[in-house]
């Protein structure tokens, strides 16, 4: 429905009064505003929301956070009710899948309640990414019973010394593996395990992870190292391409490519040609960008919309939420932000510029 005259006046006032970083995004086309769903100016339909619920993390992974990183004050983050309002607004615009991210989302004090209340909204799929440090049987069962459908774990080495060196934490490999088993025992389907591959750090473990996939029926996904580190010292020479990793695995176990059922999937998936358990996936944003079919929108823990991980523009929803504006005004703001999604991230091009904020601050 077209906005009412009063709604238009409110929008005009907000264009002037919001702070520079939180100003209203450039408007979508009139046709798109009337359509009432989420599309960008390049024709991509947005149906997946990545919502960060905290920028805090108890790990300091070398590809993400430096030890001295300071996090936002709690009062700058959204409240649970505001996260729910954002989720509902996005669902009204056609979003059907949600991934809760961070930082480390299990550090968010109202996570259990947020999952329970979100589970009642009728999403097609709700998933969460975690490092697994705090998962126990009771919590996993509660998440599963109240609507969380999938869990993805981060694990970048199967060797305890490397785990400590990469994460700069006290969480062990065995703890994460136990958390994965706990998730399965609670009823979650085959977990995904994300592995960021880095040259001369863990690139010799591809076969070890493939063996773990076969032994424990896991969905191991190898991710190319991206320029999202807070130290800002990413070097393309550290990138281990998906093709390199696949060749290392296929020297031991031939792989068979699976049919791609979802054109917007970030992962290219392979099964073992001998019918072995488990699956291998490759997420290759550096060597094989998949921007053309991207259906994702990201919202940070403090309420800023980032149409792409590598956006330099972001638009602040928090002032609208804190002023108690109607859901239709929140939706109009989101429509405009999605419309401004960039065509691609340009990693590898001469004019590429790394975003100012790290993955933990953005939310994966």
Q: Residue 137 is encoded by which pair of tokens? A: 């049987």
Give Cβ neighbours of residue 65 (< 8 Å, ≥ 6 apart). 57, 59, 229, 230, 358, 360
Q: Which helix (H) or strand (E) holds 268?
A: strand 268-272
Q: Please, where are the H alpha helices in 119-275?
A: 137-145, 160-167, 173-185, 206-216, 242-250
- Specify whether the CB–CB gap between 103 and 131 falls below 8 A: no
- Residue 106's pLDDT band, with cuts at 50, 70 and 90, is very high
Report the distance separating Cα 126 and Cα 95, nearest Å. 11
Q: What is the mean pLDDT of residues 310-330?
A: 93
Rounded to 5°, the CA angle 125-128-131 comes to 160
Rounded to 5°, the CA angle 97-98-101 comes to 155
What is the Cβ-side half-sphere exposure of residue 282, based on CA atoms within 13 angstroms? 23
What is the Cβ-side half-sphere exposure of residue 274, based on CA atoms within 13 angstroms? 6
User: Which residues sit opposite 281 in a β-bridge?
Assistant: 221, 269
Q: What is the pLDDT of residue 349?
A: 67
Q: What is the mean pLDDT of residues 129-134?
A: 96
CA distances 7 to 3, 31, 192, 325, 337, Å, are 6, 18, 44, 10, 18
The yes-or-no verdict on residue 5 having pLDDT over 60 is: no
Q: Which pTM value belongs to this model?
A: 0.90
With CA atoms as reference, report the closest residue to 268 among 252, 256, 278: 256
Q: What is the pLDDT of residue 2?
A: 39
The yes-or-no verdict on residue 320 having pLDDT over 80 is: yes
- Specify whether the CB–CB gap between 44 and 294 falls below 8 A: yes
Q: What is the pLDDT of residue 353?
A: 77
Q: What is the pLDDT of residue 136?
A: 96
- Cα end-to-end span (Å), the chain: 33
- Residue 12's pLDDT band, with cuts at 50, 70 and 90, is very low
CATH superfamily, with its number, for domain 45-362: Aldolase class I (3.20.20.70)
Q: What is the pLDDT of residue 346?
A: 66
CA distances 310 to 97, 231, 307, Å, are 21, 16, 8
Could you report the per-residue pLDDT of 196-232, keeping only the tens digit for each?
A: 999 999 999 999 999 999 999 999 999 999 887 787 8
Q: Please, where are the H alpha helices in 323-358?
A: 327-339
Give Cβ neighbours of residue 93 (< 8 Å, ≥ 6 apart). 36, 37, 38, 46, 331, 334, 335
- The ranges assigned to domains in the chain are 45-362
Q: What is the pLDDT of residue 13?
A: 35
Report the distance separating Cα 344 and Cα 40, nearest Å. 12
Q: What is the pLDDT of residue 229?
A: 73
């Amino acid at each position: 429905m077209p906005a009412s005259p009063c709604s238009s006046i409110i929008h005009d006032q907000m264009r002037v009064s919001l702070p520079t970083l939180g100003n209203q995004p450039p408007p979508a086309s009139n046709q798109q505003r009337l359509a009432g769903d989420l599309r960008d100016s390049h024709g991509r339909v947005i149906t997946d929301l990545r919502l960060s619920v905290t920028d805090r993390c108890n790990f300091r992974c070398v590809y993400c956070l430096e030890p001295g990183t300071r996090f936002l004050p709690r009062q700058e983050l959204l409240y649970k009710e505001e996260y729910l309002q954002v989720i509902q607004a996005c669902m009204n615009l056609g979003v059907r899948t949600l991934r809760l991210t961070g930082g480390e989302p299990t550090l968010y004090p109202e996570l259990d309640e947020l999952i329970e209340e979100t589970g009642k909204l009728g999403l097609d799929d709700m998933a969460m990414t975690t490092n697994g440090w705090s998962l126990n049987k009771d919590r996993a069962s509660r998440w599963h019973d109240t609507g969380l459908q999938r869990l993805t774990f981060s694990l970048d080495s199967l060797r305890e010394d490397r785990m400590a060196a990469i994460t700069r934490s006290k969480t062990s490999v065995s703890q994460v593996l136990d958390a994965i088993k706990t998730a399965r025992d609670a009823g979650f389907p085959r977990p995904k395990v994300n592995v960021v591959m880095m040259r001369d750090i863990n690139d010799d473990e591809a076969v070890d992870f493939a063996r773990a996939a076969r032994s424990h029926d896991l969905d191991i996904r190898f991710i190319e190292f991206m320029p999202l580190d807070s130290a800002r010292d990413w070097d393309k020479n550290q990138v281990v391409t998906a093709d390199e990793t696949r060749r290392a695995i296929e020297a031991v176990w031939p792989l068979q490519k699976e049919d791609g059922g979802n054109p917007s999937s970030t992962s290219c998936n392979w099964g073992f040609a001998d019918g072995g358990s488990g699956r291998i996936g490759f997420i290759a944003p550096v060597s094989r960008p998949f921007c053309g079919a991207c259906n994702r929108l990201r919202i940070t823990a403090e309420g800023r919309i980032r149409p792409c991980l590598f956006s330099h523009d972001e638009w602040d929803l928090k002032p609208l939420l804190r002023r108690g504006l109607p859901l239709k005004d929140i939706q109009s703001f989101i429509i405009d932000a999605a419309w401004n999604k960039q065509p691609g991230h340009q990693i590898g091009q001469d004019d590429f510029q790394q975003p100012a904020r790290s993955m933990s601050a953005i939310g994966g």
